[in-house]
Amino acid sequence: MVFTGIGLIHLTWLTLGWSKEAPLTETLPWIPAAGLNLDFWLDGPALFYTWLVYGIGFLVIQYAGHYMKPDDSPWRFYSVMLVFLSAMLGLVLARDFLLMFIFWEVTSLTSFLLIGHWHHLPEARKGARRALLITGMGGLSLMAGIAFLAVVMIQVTGEFSLRMDDVWAAREAISEHPLITTALVLMLIGALTKSAQFPFHFWLPGAMKAPTPVSALLHAATMVKAGIYLLGRMYPAFGDEILWLIIAGGAGVMSMLVGGYLAIVSTDIKALLAYSTVSQLGLLTSYYGFGFGRLESDHLLKLDLLLVASHALFKAGLFMLCGVIDHGTHTRDWKRLGGLRRKMPVTAALTIAGCISMAGLPFSLGFVAKKIFLEASAQLESAPFILGEALLAGSLAASVLTVGYCFIVAIKPFFGKPREQDLYDHAHGGSFGFLFAPGLLIGLCILGGLYVPALEKPIAALTNTEFYAYKSYFTIAWFPKIDWLFWASLIMYVILGPLILVWQDFFDAIYQKSGQAKPFLGFSDRFFDVWVANFAAMIGAAAKPAHHQTTLAILFGVMLILCGAAIATAPFPAISLPQPSLDIAVAAMLIAMAAAGVVMAVIKRRVYTRIISVGLSGLAVGAIFVVYKAPDLALTQLLVELAVLLMFLGMAARLKTIWQEEAAAIPRNKFAAGAAVALGLLAAGVTFIAASSEPSVTWSSRPSPEAYYLTNAFYPETPGAHSGGGNNAVNVTLVDFRALDTFGEVIVLVVAALGVFSVLMLRMRGRVEEPTITIDRADAKLFLLKILGGVVSILCAVYAVVLFLAGHQMPGGGFIAGLLAAIVVLPFLVTFRPLRDFYPHVLMGWGILAAAGIGIQPALSGEEFLKSAFGTFTIPIYGELKLSTALVFDIGVFLIVLAVTLSLMKLFATRTYKDAEEEEREESAA
Amino acid sequence: MSLLLSLFVGFLFGSAVYLLLQRRRFDTLLGFAILSNAVNLAILTGSGWSKETQPPILNNNYEKVKETGAYISTVSPDQYADPIPQALILTAIVIGFALISFLMVLAAELTQRESEEKESAQ
C-alpha cells in the first residue's frame, strides 16, 4: 500500500506537469548493438492507464487488507501483486512493441501465480493452468506477430525499429507489404487471448478461483485491459485493414453475446461477473473494430478511454462487493440469497449503483459509455456487405443480455424473501474499511455520469496527440438525443431487461438441459481435460523412454558421431613423448592412484568399497590440480570430494542392501564396454587437441582476457582504471571481474538445494514425524572421540575464517571457506538439540541479499552491476589491510555455499542418524 | 604432460560412460561423480601446462611507473597459469556437487519408494 501510495503521489506530480505536446520519454540502452533499447514514454493513453493501474491497484491493496486472512500467506500475495503492478506499469509505459511484449509476459506469469494463490484448491490450480496456457499461447502469437512486424518494418523503412510512433508513421508504407496481414492476425490473437475474447473466453471464469482482490485488479480492471490497450496501440497502424473489422469487431460482438448469455445462466455471482467481464470487454474490443476505416476522419473512436475507465471503475467495485457478500454470507450463489438489503444496506446500495452503471442506465458513466458504443456501431457505413448491420444487430442483442444480468445481480440477492433462512440469519455487512474501496470506485462512476461535460476537457487533453486526434464529434451529455437509438434503449431497459429477470428460469432450463455439451463451455472442458492432457501424455511418452540409459545412449551416440567427425577431419597434433621430470613423475603417480580408484569402483561389488574408491580417485584428482598450478581448485576439489563422500556414506547406510541386491539382480550391460572405449578415446583425443592447439583468435588490438585479469588483478595497469585489489587472480576473477557469472552460479546452487529439499518434503508429507532422539546415551562411549572431534572442529573453523579472509590474496575465498565451514558445522547441526530444527535455507537468502546488495550499489551510481571498489586500511598489529567491496560479495558466496552444503549434507546425515536409532529401538523391542 | 593428462581424461570419461550406461541406479551415481571430474580435468588440460609457470597468485609483484603513476606487473602474465579456466572449474566443481546431491536424493527417493511398494505388495 505504501508503494502504490508513493506511486500515486509521484503520478499526481507527473500529471500536473504533463503536457500533451511533449510526453515524457526515457530511453535506457539495453542491447544497443541489436538496436534494442528500453524505451518508455508517458503519452496520453499511457498516462491514463498509469492512473488506472496505480489508482485501482492502491484501492485493491487497501481492500485486500480486509479481505485476506492472516493464514492466507499475505506476504506471498502482496509481493506477487506488486510484481504484477510493476509489470503492468511497464506494459503501459513501453514505447516499443517488443518491450511491451516482455512486460505482457510478466503479467501473464504473475496472473498465473495469483490465480493459483490458494494452491491447495484443485480448482484454483486448474484455473491457473488454463489461464497460463491460453494467455501464454496468446503471448507466443503476439511475439510471432511482432517478429513479422519487425520484418515488415525493416523491409519497408530500412531500419529496425518497433517503436510505436515509428510504426504508426510508416502506416501507409507497411500496409502494402504482403506480410502485414500475418502480423496483424497474430497480434490480434494475442490481444484477444489476453482480454478473454471469444473464442478464448473460457479461461476468465476459471481465473475467478483467485482471491477476490486479484479478480478485481487483474481480471476486471487492469490485466484483461492489456488486450484492449494493445488494440489501442495497434489501431493507428492497422485500423484500415478489413481484417481488423472482421476479427476485432466479430470477436468482440460474439464475446458480448456469449458472455451475456453465460452470465445470465450463472448462479455464482462471481462467475456471473466474470462472464459479464467477457461481455464488457467484447464491447471494448468491438468498439475498436468499429473504428475500421475511420483513421483519416475525425471520429468518436477516441473516446475509448472513457469506456475503459467506466468499465474498470464499476467492475472492480462490483467484484469487491461480491467479496463482501461472500464474506458476509459464506456463499456467492444468488439462488441461496435474498432479502439481504435489510442485512447489508450499504452493500446493496453500492451494488445497485454499480449495476446501474454496468447496464448503462442514465446518470452513470456506464450510460455515457454505452451511448458512445451504440452510436459507433450504428455508424459502420464503410463496412462491406451486411457486416455493419450484422454487427449492429449483435451489439443491440448483447446490450439486452447485459441489462438482463445487471438486473439479476442488483435484485436477486437483495430483494424478495430470504431463500435460505439460515444463511440470512447469519449474514452481516462489511466494515467501513471493507466497503471503502468499492464505494469510492462506484461513487466515481456515478459522479462521472452526473458531470459528463466536465470529463470532456481531460479526455480531449489526453487523446489530442498526433495519432489520437479528438474532435467533439458529438457532445458528451447525460441526456440523450431522442432518436431511434433512444427508443431502442428504452425498450431494452424497460421491457426486455426485466423480462430476462423474470425468465431467468427459462434460460437456466435450456442451459441445464444441454447437459455435458454446454454451449461455449463444453468445448473448453473437452479441450483441456482431454486434448491437452492427451497431447502432454504423448509428448511425455515420446521424450521419456523406459530407462535413462536409452536417453544417455542416444546422447553419447550423437556426441560420438559429431565430435568423432570433427576430430577425424582436424589435423592431429604431433605426439611428443614428455621429458622425464619430477612433475611428470608426480602426475603419473597421482594418475595411477586415481585410475586404481576408478577401476575399483567399476569392478568391485560392495557398496562401501566402491564409494571409497570413487572418493579416492576424486582426492587424487584434487592433487593433480596442485601439479597443474591451481591451488584454489585443489582445495575446492578436496573439500567437495569429502562432502560427497560423507553424503554417499550417509545414503549407503540406508540403502546398501537394496543396492547390493540391485547389482546382483541386474546383469552388466555388455554394450556399455564398447561405448566406453570409443567415447574414452574420443575424450582423450579432444582434450589432447585442445591442449596442443594455439588459440585461433589473435589478440592483436587488445590483450587476451587472462592477461588482462592477471595484470589488473591487484593494481590497475592504467592509472584510475578498474582493478580487483587482490593477489589471487582466480578469486579476483570470481568475485570481481566475472562476478555476474559467479552470482548466476551460486543461484544455481540455491536452486539445486531447494530442489533436493522439495523432493524430501514430498516424502515427509502425510507422515508421522519421526520421534526426536536423545543422543547423550549413545555418545557416552565416544567421549574421547568427541573431545578430539571438538578440537579438530575448532581448528577447522578457525582455518575456514583464515581461508575466507585470505581468499582475495592467497588461495581460498568464499567457495572454499563455505565448504569447509559446512563440513565443520554439520555435526553440531545434527547432534546439538537446539540447532536440529534449524534449516540453513534462511542463510541462502542472506547470502543472495549480500551478494546482490553490494552489486546493486555501483549500479545505482551508474557503474556496472557488481563492480567493486576497495580501500586500504591500516590496522594495528595486523598491518595494512586491503578491503574490497568484493569481499562482501564473497561473504554472500560464502553464506550461500555454506547454507547449500549444510542443507544438502544435513538431509542425508539426519535421516541416517534417525534411521539407525530406529533400528536400535526396534532391536531392543524385539 | 598434456598427453598424459589427455589419456587420463579419456580413461575417466570412458569409465564414467561405462557406469552411466548400466541399468543400476547406484552405478549411475558413481558414473556421474567420475564424469564431473573427467570434464573438469579436460578443461584444465585444455588450458595447457608448462613447467615454468606459477600459480596465478601474484604475490605483489608490481612496480609503480613514476612517470605515469601506473602499476606494471614485474612478472609477465605468461609466467602465470591461466586464471580463467581455474575460475570456471572452481564453480563447476561446486555446481557439480550440488547436482550430484540432487541426483543422490532422487535416486535414494526412488529406491526407497520402490522397495516400500514391493513390501506393501507382498
Instruction: Give the DSSP H or E segment for B69.
Output: none
Say what the pLDDT of residue A694 is. 66
Of the listed ranges A631-645, A840-854, B68-82, the least confidently predicted one is: B68-82
The answer to whether the CB of A588 falls within 8 A of the CB of B4 is: yes
Choose among B21, B87, B98: nearest Cβ to A553. B21
Sorting pLDDT into bands at 50, 70 and 90, what band is B40? very high
What residue type is A361 in one-letter code? L
CA–CA dist B3, A272 (Å, integer): 75
A559-563, A913-917, B95-99: the lowest-pLDDT one: A913-917
- Give mean pLDDT, residues A169-190: 84
The half-sphere exposure of A791 on its side-chain side, counting CA atoms within 13 A, is 5
pLDDT, tens digit, for every residue of A81-93? Answer: 888 888 888 888 8
Contacts of A611 in chain B (CB under 8 A): 30
**A548 touches B103 (CB < 8 A):** no
How far is it, in rounded angstroms, from Cα A218 to Cα A53? 10
b (16+ CB within 10 A) / e for A706-734? bbebbbbbbbbbeeeeebbbbbbbbbbbb
> Is the Cβ pair B97, A640 closer than 8 Å?
yes
Contact A276/A522 with Cβ under 8 angstroms?
A: no
Binary contact (A745, B95; C-beta < 8 A): yes
Q: What is the mean pLDDT of residues A691-714?
A: 66
Start-to-end CA distance of chain B, whole Å, equals: 57
Instruction: In whole angstroms, give the CA distance from residue A471 to residue A475.
Output: 10
Instruction: Output A514 or A666, whichever has higher pLDDT.
Output: A666
pLDDT at A392: 75
A31: three-class secondary structure by DSSP: strand
For the record, the C-alpha cell of A264 comes out as: 445470465
pLDDT at B39: 92
Task: Check whether the bond before A345 is cis (ω within 30° of 0).
Answer: no
Helix axis angle, A631-665 relative to A814-831, nearest 10°?
Answer: 50
Cβ contacts below 8 Å, chain A against chain B, sum to 309
Nearest CB among A587, A672, A717 relative to B4 is that of A587
| Cell numbers representing residue A273 in the block | 461477473
- Residue A152 pLDDT > 80, yes or no? yes
Reported ipTM: 0.92
CB nearest to A588's CB, from B4, B73, B87 = B4
C-beta separation of A800 from A821 below 8 A? yes
In this structure, the number of other CB atoms found within 10 A of the CB of residue A83 comes to 16
Closest A-chain CA to B103: A756
Q: What is the mean pLDDT of residues A835-851?
A: 75
* Res A770 pLDDT > 50: no
Q: Tell the burial category of B8 from Cβ atoms under 10 Å away from its Cβ (0-12, 13-18, 19+).
A: buried
Give residue A478's pLDDT band: very low, low, confident or very high (50, 70, 90).
Answer: very low
Q: Which residues pair with A38 in a beta bridge?
A: A28
Model confidence at A911, in pLDDT bands (50, 70, 90)?
Answer: low
Contact yes or no for A653/A916 (Cβ under 8 A): yes
Average pLDDT value for residue range A116-134: 82
8 Å CB contact of B10 and A681: yes
pLDDT at B61 over 60: yes
pTM over 0.80: no
Contact: A730, B101; criterion CB under 8 Å: no
Q: Which residues pair with A728 in a beta bridge?
A: B57
Is the pLDDT confidence value at A74 over 60? yes
* Tens digits of residue pLDDT in A540-593: 777 766 677 788 888 888 988 988 888 888 777 777 776 778 888 888 888 898
Is A725 in a helix, a strand, or coil? coil
Instruction: Dump pLDDT digits (tens) for A521-541.
Output: 555 666 666 777 777 777 777
Check whether A875 has a pLDDT greater than 70. no
Q: What is the DSSP letter of A293?
A: T
Share of chain A above pLDDT 70, in %: 70
**Predicted local confidence at residue A745, as pLDDT:** 85
Residue A18, pLDDT score: 54
CB contact at 8 A, A691 and A680:
no
Name the residue facing B80 among A637, A710, A755 (closest C-beta). A710
| The pLDDT of residue A462 | 65
Q: How sure is the predictor about A461, in pLDDT bands with cuts at 50, 70 and 90?
A: low
Residue A777 banded pLDDT, cuts 50, 70, 90: very low
Q: Tell me the per-residue pLDDT of A444-459, one tens digit each, with 9 for 90 and over.
A: 877 777 766 666 666 6
pLDDT reading at A774 higher than 50: no
Tell me the pLDDT tens digit for each residue of A237-248.
887 777 888 888
Helix, coil or strand: residue A379 = coil
- Report the SS3 class of residue A841: helix
Pick the range with the lowest mean pLDDT from A13-22, A780-789, B104-113.
A13-22
Distance (Å, whole) CA A95 – CA A98? 9
* pLDDT at site A519: 52
pLDDT of residue A511: 64
Whether A113 contacts A80, CB under 8 Å: yes
Higher pLDDT, A385 or A436: A436
A509 inside 8 A of chain B by CB: no
What is the DSSP-derived secondary structure letter of residue A333? B
Query: What pLDDT is stored for residue A23 in this prediction?
Result: 60
Select from A549, A575, A598, A915 the residue whose CB has the most chain B CBs within 10 Å, as the one to mutate to test that interface. A598
Taking 90 as the threshold, does the pLDDT of residue B12 lie above it? yes
Could you tell me which of A595, A191, A280 has the C-alpha nearest to residue B7? A595
Alpha helices in A158-224 (DSSP H): 164-169, 171-175, 180-194, 203-206, 212-216
In contact, B31 and A676? CB cutoff 8 Å: no
Burial of A366 (0-12, 13-18, 19+ CB in 10 A): buried
Backbone angles phi, psi at A477, to 5 degrees: -145, 150
Instruction: Specify burial of residue A857 (Cβ count, 10 A radius: 0-12, 13-18, 19+).
Output: middle
Query: CA gyration radius for chain A?
Result: 34
Which residues of chain A does B84 touch, with a Cβ-Cβ cutoff of 8 Å?
705-706, 709, 733
Cα A25 to chain centroid distance, Å, stands at 27
Highest mean pLDDT among A94-98, A204-208, A242-246, A838-842: A94-98
Distance from CA of A152 to the nearest CA of B (A): 42
User: What's residue A7's pLDDT?
Assistant: 59
Q: What's the start-to-end Cα distance of chain A, in Å?
A: 62
The pLDDT confidence band at residue A285, using thresholds 50, 70 and 90, is: confident
User: Which stretches does DSSP call E strand in A32-135?
Assistant: 36-42
Contact of B65 with A871, CB cutoff 8 Å? no
Looking at residue A531, its pLDDT comes to 73
* Gap between the Cα atoms of A498 and A462, Å rounded: 38
| Contact yes or no for A909/A832 (Cβ under 8 A) | no
Least confident segment among A267-281, A460-474, B11-25, B41-55: A460-474
What does the pLDDT read at residue B36? Answer: 92
Better pLDDT: B97 or A463:
B97
Contact A100, A159 (CB under 8 A): no
- Spatial distance between the Cα atoms of B64 and A707, rounded to a whole number of angstroms: 18
Judge if the upstream peptide bond of residue A480 is cis by omega within 30 degrees of 0.
no
Residue A329 has which C-alpha cell? 454470507
Q: Which residue of A has its CA nearest to B28?
A: A549
Quote the pLDDT of residue A748: 86
What CA–CA distance (Å, rounded) separates B10 from A683? Answer: 5
- 377-396 in chain A: CB under 8 A from chain B: none
Read off the pLDDT of each residue in A391-408 and give the average, rounded to a whole number.
78
Apex CA A275: angle with CA A271 and CA A277, to 5°?
Answer: 115
Mean of pLDDT values over A129-154:
88
- Pick from A628, A633, A809: which is nearest to B49 by CB? A628
